[in-house]
């Protein structure tokens, strides 16, 4: 008997796997990369936590599918930011269901805990998720199963319901007890989560899609830097610190060009829309210089695309804050 686990890499998904493994069931940990899981590469973390609970890890890149099928047209709407949590979970179960035959699995599990999260882990929301997935009766949530309706795996005797759990709410006391029980040493502390729940990222997303089509290559643009709306034709992203600079430098996006500070001047790496007009470029250049180690009354030569512009920074950062989204 095999099951596919929706695997976030978090503690709850690890514990759900251990509960099912205790019943002699083989579990495949399946992680769906939607692109908004965090600002850093989680691949090594996912490998470590999968190894910690003794499962094979499968990573599915569903970023384009997520954008096309979920992000902008959620049946159940958004949470407090740009997070279509119910539709997101429902489609992840659906995609896992599509993989069941390939991996010889009979049902799907997740680490969801009843009432742990306000939007997607209410009982009603969990029922909506299951209906949306098309896997009615085949979705098992081991940590809160005793609060849920009996599933097909339980009815058929694949899983012993008496060994499933009744964890509910936001307290992690029971989870920490299970860490001790299973001898888990490496795990992620609770917290964080999907970037789409971040209201600042939601502001950037709403601005972006007001003026441009959004694709996979644009996901990383949203994650870093200060964002400025220069004009309907131009967006500017200015690095805030060294890590931002490195991330922005690494982005490959056909719609943006990378702008560096003049040689010898310390300051941010920036991205500017290639659709920027000459006027946009001049304004963007002055903003970029304002965030560098520059003097406000001095001219600097800044290269943007094929142009070398002679520009002065603004007198202070306060002069440009009205154009900054955040």
Retrieve residue 155's tokens: 């009815």
Question: CA 108, CA 103: separation in Å to the nearest integer?
Answer: 12
Residue position matching structure tokens 């600097």 = 300
SS3 of the chain: the string is: CEEEEECCCCHHHHHHHHHHHCCCCEEEEEEEECCCCCCCCCHHHHHHHHHHCCCEEEEEECHHHHHHHHHCCCCCCCCCCCCCHHHHHHHHHHHHHHHHHHHCCCEEECCCCECCCCCCCCHHHHHHHHHHHCCCCCEECCCCHHHCCCCHHHHCCCCCHHHCCCCECCCCHHHHHHHHHHCCCCCCCCCCCCHHHCHHHHHHHHHHHHHCCCCHHHHHHHHCCEEEEEECCEEEEECCCHHHHHHHHHCCCCCEEEECCCCCCCCCCEEEECCCCHHHHHHHHHHHHHCCCCCCCCCEEEEECCEEEEECCCCCHHHHHHHECC
pLDDT at 191: 67
Are the C-beta atoms of residues 139 and 117 closer than 8 Å to each other? Answer: no
Angle at which helix 173-182 crosses helix 11-21, to 10 degrees, equals 50
pLDDT at res. 221: 97
Q: Which fold has domain 2-193?
A: Rossmann fold (3.40.50)
pLDDT at res. 238: 98
296 Cβ partners below 8 Å, 6+ apart?
A: 290, 312, 313, 314, 315, 316
Show pLDDT as tens, one digit a residue, over the chain (326 residues): 999 999 999 999 999 999 999 999 999 999 999 999 988 889 999 999 999 999 999 999 999 999 999 999 999 999 999 999 999 999 999 999 999 999 999 999 999 999 998 778 899 999 999 999 999 999 999 999 999 999 999 999 999 999 999 999 999 999 999 999 999 999 987 766 799 999 999 999 999 999 999 999 999 999 999 999 999 999 999 999 999 999 999 999 999 999 999 999 999 999 999 999 999 999 999 999 999 999 999 999 999 989 999 999 999 999 999 889 86
Domain ranges of the chain: 2-193, 198-323
**Contact in structure between 5 and 110 (CB atoms under 8 Å):** yes
Cα–Cα distance measured from residue 318 to residue 153, given in angstroms and rounded to the nearest whole number: 61
Predicted local distance difference test score (pLDDT) of residue 279 = 96
Please report the pLDDT score of residue 120 as a whole number.
84
């Amino acid at each position: 008997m095999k099951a596919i686990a929706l695997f976030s890499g978090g503690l709850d998904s690890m514990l759900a796997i251990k509960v099912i493994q205790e019943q002699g069931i083989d579990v495949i940990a399946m992680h769906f990369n939607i692109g908004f899981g965090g600002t850093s590469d989680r691949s090594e973390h996912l490998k470590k936590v999968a190894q910690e609970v003794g499962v094979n890890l499968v990573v599915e890149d569903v970023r384009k599918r997520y954008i096309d099928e979920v992000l902008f047209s959620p049946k159940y709407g958004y949470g407090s930011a740009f997070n279509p949590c119910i539709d997101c979970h429902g489609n992840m179960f659906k995609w896992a269901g599509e993989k069941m035959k390939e991996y010889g699995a009979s049902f799907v599990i997740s680490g969801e805990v009843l009432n742990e999260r306000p939007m997607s882990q209410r009982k009603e929301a969990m029922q909506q998720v299951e209906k949306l997935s098309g896997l009615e009766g085949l979705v098992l949530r081991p940590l809160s199963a005793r609060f849920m309706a009996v599933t097909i795996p339980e009815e058929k005797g694949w899983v012993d319901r008496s060994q499933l759990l009744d964890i509910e709410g936001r307290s992690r006391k029971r989870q920490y007890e299970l860490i001790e029980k299973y001898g888990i040493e490496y795990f992620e502390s609770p917290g964080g989560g999907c970037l789409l729940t971040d209201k600042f990222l939601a502001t950037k997303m709403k601005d972006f899609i007001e003026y441009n089509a959004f694709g996979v290559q644009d996901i990383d643009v949203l994650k870093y830097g200060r964002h400025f709306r220069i004009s309907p034709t131009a967006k500017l992203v200015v690095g805030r610190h060294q890590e931002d600079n490195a991330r922005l430098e690494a982005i490959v996006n056909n719609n943006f060009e990378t702008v560096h500070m003049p040689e010898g001047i310390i300051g941010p790496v920036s991205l500017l829309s290639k659709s920027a007009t000459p006027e946009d470029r001049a304004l963007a250049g002055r903003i970029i210089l304002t965030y560098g180690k520059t003097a406000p009354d001095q001219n600097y030569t800044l290269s943007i695309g094929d142009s070398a512009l002679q520009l002065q920074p603004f007198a202070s950062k306060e002069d440009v804050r009205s154009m900054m989204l955040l």
